[in-house]
Structure 1
Amino acid sequence: MKKVELGRTGQHVSQVSLGCMTMGTSTDEPTSARILDAYLDACGDFLDTANCYAWWAPDATGGESESLLGRLLRGRRDRVFLATKVSAGITDLPAARAARHPDGTVDWDAVERTFEGAGAAVIEREAEASLRRLGTDHLDLYYVHVDDRRVPLEETLSALDALVRSGKVRYIGWSNVRTWRLDRIRALALANGWASPVAVQVQHSYLRPAGADVPSIAGGELLDWLSLHPDVSLAAYSSLLRGIYDDAAYRESTPVWRAYAGPASEARLAAVAKVASELGVSGNQVALAWLVHKGVIPLIGPRTWAHYESIAPAFTLALPDELVSVLDDA
């Protein structure tokens, strides 16, 4: 797997990041270890987790992913670039669980009311907790998981900058944030000499959302802003939209599809199928390779070994220019 520069930091990371959200809960420890080992053997090094992963799993409260990674990385912490997040830890677990409905839908407004937020005291406390669970003395990248407008940006940025100056955090990032807020965050950080975001993490895939603009999905405005600010990299979660590029039956039944359904997505899916057929690969592999080709750092979050095996060939899948045009023109 090739390496790419993170923003303009001079720090190079693998062009595909391993999302570790389900590790320690729905992905058991032996499977997690097998996936991590295979990813490292493929020259991957960019690991992504969060202090809240995965509170929604049975008998979980959050922190399970970090704790498992801490065990799995003993003796080889120096082989990885480790990212985690703060601000979406749950303060009222029963209320958050009640907001998740049996049909798979979630009342996100109710869930967000239970988030810990991005105040200075939370950041300081949770950074220490993440360091402890991960068994490390520093975090390579520390994201604000969900933008918190209740707290002044000056407070959040100052607290993050203090962590950077102490050596406990190397770089900061933001996730699930609107473009105008990201621009303000960056400008405020630069004006005050504080650590500035080097990455933004939002949902982004080959398909384009059909509905209204939401802060958790990259829209045209954010993509345009990023093209003018190369010091901020785009790390894309849900890069394969839970695998809908290869499974039509699943696609029609999953809530993920609702944000993308429509003629434009049908045309793009047809383009993916055409390219996949010509290359003899899967649609998911094509979608991931396209993101890499565009300079995005996609996250993959395999829950099983079979999922990982089905995605891994895309790490080195090169798309010929003529087939990139097929995808771009759809």
Structure 2
Amino acid sequence: MEETLGAFDDLARPSRIRSSGAGNLATWRLERARNLSAAQGWLPYTYLQLRHTYLRPRPLTRLAESGHTLATDKTLEYARAEPDVTLWVYNTLMAGAYTRADRPIPEIYHHPGTTRRLAVLREVAAEVGATLNQVVLAWLMADGYVPIVGVSTMAQLNEAIGASDVRLDDELRARMDAAC
């Protein structure tokens, strides 16, 4: 960790980079890295990239993809408490599982809460006149997260970009958050 953080700081000194971050790092390791940077006067991590979407996995579930790390409630709380930390979230649309019948929702999301969250997601999408994907992305962005989206067509790109125009008021967000 010291070698990595020191190397990033070395890049920041001649202004080759302005900020740094880590991917798939547990919250405690992020905090340790930020404390080490503070103690050494180094550039701290201000970005963290984790897997996160609207649906919630079953507790204590292991991902099939061993290199991926799910955002936990602790990580989300940490990001809210540290205004200079931004979460970049991936697998936000679960490879099309929200909208494509040929892309089933991954098994880690198979529990009664998913059924309820999907119902609320559909209601909200209908109310605001947006697609399910756009509402998921708008919900993530409303919390200050930066969604990472992969697309394979221009229509998918345009749909994703359209999420920036979707406004979820406090009542809609509260309703989406309460579904479990």
CA displacement, residues 233-265 of structure 1 (integer Å, 9 cap, x when unaligned) = 11111121222222244225xxxx122221111
Partner of 1:295, secondary structure, is: coil
Measured on the aligned residues, the alpha-carbon RMSD in Å equals: 1.7
Cα deviation for residue 310 of structure 1 reads 2.4
Which structure 2 residues correspond to residues 99-138 of structure 1 after superposition, within 5 A? none
Instruction: Give the equivalent residue in structure 2 for 1:107.
Output: none
Q: Which has the higher contact order (CA 8 A, sep 6+)?
A: 2
TM-score when normalising by structure 1: 0.50
Sequence identity of aligned pairs in percent?
Answer: 38
Residue 45 of structure 2 is aligned to residue 226 of structure 1 = no
Change (3 A) 1:221 1:174: same
Cα deviation for residue 326 of structure 1 reads 1.9
CA distance in 2, matches of 1:293, 1:308: 19
Among residues 170, 185, 207, which one is paired with 2:55 in the alignment?
207
CA displacement, residues 124-178 of structure 1 (integer Å, 9 cap, x when unaligned) = xxxxxxxxxxxxxxxxxxxxxxxxxxxxx11111111111112222211011001
CA distance in 1, matches of 2:168, 2:77: 23
CA distance in 2, matches of 1:324, 1:160: 37
Residue 167 of structure 2 is aligned to residue 318 of structure 1 = yes
CA distance in 2, matches of 1:232, 1:278: 32
**Unaligned ranges ≥5, structure 2:** 63-67
Residue 128 of structure 2 is aligned to residue 279 of structure 1 = yes
CA distance in 1, matches of 2:81, 2:169: 26
Cα deviation for residue 187 of structure 1 reads 0.3
Paired residues in the alignment total 174
Instruction: Give the equivalent residue in structure 2 for 1:260.
Output: 109
Cα deviation for residue 190 of structure 1 reads 0.5
CA distance in 1, matches of 2:69, 2:76: 13
Residue 152 of structure 2 is aligned to residue 303 of structure 1 = yes
Aligned AA for 1:177? L
CA distance in 2, matches of 1:310, 1:156: 37
Determine which structure has more spread, i.e. the larger CA radius of gyration: 1
TM-score when normalising by structure 2: 0.89
Which structure 2 residues correspond to residues 190-205 of structure 1 after superposition, within 5 A? 190-205=38-53
CA displacement, residues 279-309 of structure 1 (integer Å, 9 cap, x when unaligned) = 2221111111111111211122212212112
Among residues 172, 182, 193, which one is paired with 2:20 in the alignment?
172
Aligned AA for 1:216? T
Aligned AA for 2:50? V
Please tell me whether the aligned partners of residues 211 and 260 of structure 1 are also in contact (alpha carbons under 8 angstroms). Answer: no
Partner of 1:236, secondary structure, is: strand
Which structure 2 residues correspond to residues 29-48 of structure 1 after superposition, within 5 A? none
